[in-house]
Amino acid sequence: MQEQIARNKRRTFLMLLGFVVLITLVATAIVLLFGGGWVGIVIAFVIAMGLAWGSYYNSDKIAIKASRAVPADETEYRRYHNLVEGLCIAAGLPKPKLFVVNDPAPNAFATGRNPKHSAVAVTTGLLEKMNRVELEGVLAHELSHVKNYDILVTTVAVTAIGTIALISDIGLRFAFWGGLSGRRDNNGDSGPIGVVIAIASLAVLMLAPFAGYLMQMAMSRNREYLADASGVQLTRYPPGLISALEKLKDDKAVVHNATKATAQMWIEEPLETNPDKPGSKFNNLFDTHPPLEDRIKRLQEM
């Protein structure tokens, strides 16, 4: 397991680098689409680096705000605080900031850039529906994400994917509402090379959000298995997390403030996954989490 944790840390660096490259490609595509030269490309790279740096320091705040989480009062949520404090002592972690999301769907997530700057949020539905050992299993899973440094890449991904989708959408809207004609008029670049550049730039803008989602999906599934295994090692009681995952599997409620960008943070897929709903089978191919049945089976085999 330690080898897998070390491998995940290396993949975290590569994934963060991948998001920087993807943002740079999108920004460069917009510059080229509207006739910018090398200076514009350099500016696009600087902007991409600035966005990546900002994501590193502020994405946890963005994730908390996007989920509409509020600080968990120590008196009102005493059990929540006590369980986290005990698990942090066992794991050798500093206590993260604790938040609560007012939502009936049982779910939870961890966010931050490292164990010293981390936060855990749970929904009111989770607190109401889980008994003590089940809640402990869920919290151990989330703290394992903190200890394994999964929170860095998943939290930055929230901002990165949102940024990629936003600037791609802006670029495409300008392109289809007169941007390309303006480029040709201003630069006289309507020859074969200009057409190739325009088509390539449009392709980047259209495919970049899809590529971001694929990167998000690839990085999340294996990390969930590892966090499950690390969590039960921390509690030394696999039935607790198994029972919690079974309750999550039986509950079909969705988290109201979850989005595709934030989905990978939660302990289970927070969006619609009903196989009987039209289109759901295709959408589920891009779920950021492995099926709960598979996760439960792996824990039962431990």
Q: Given its phi and psi angles, is residue 213 left (phi above 0), alpha (psi -120 to 50 degrees) or beta?
A: alpha
Q: Which of 7, 72, 63, 46 is nearest to 257 (CA)?
A: 63
Q: Name every residue whose Cβ is closer than 8 Å to that of residue 271 and which is 6 or more positions away in sequence.
A: 254, 255, 258, 259, 260, 263
- Of 142, 224, 268, 269, catalytic: 142
HSE-up (13 A, CA, CB side) for residue 35: 12
Number of Cβ within a 10 Å radius of residue 132: 11
Active site residue 269: no
Collapsed DSSP state (helix, strand, coil) of residue 111: strand
Structure tokens that stand for 138 in this block: 């869920």
47 alpha-carbon distance from chain centroid: 22
Q: Which residues are catalytic?
A: 142
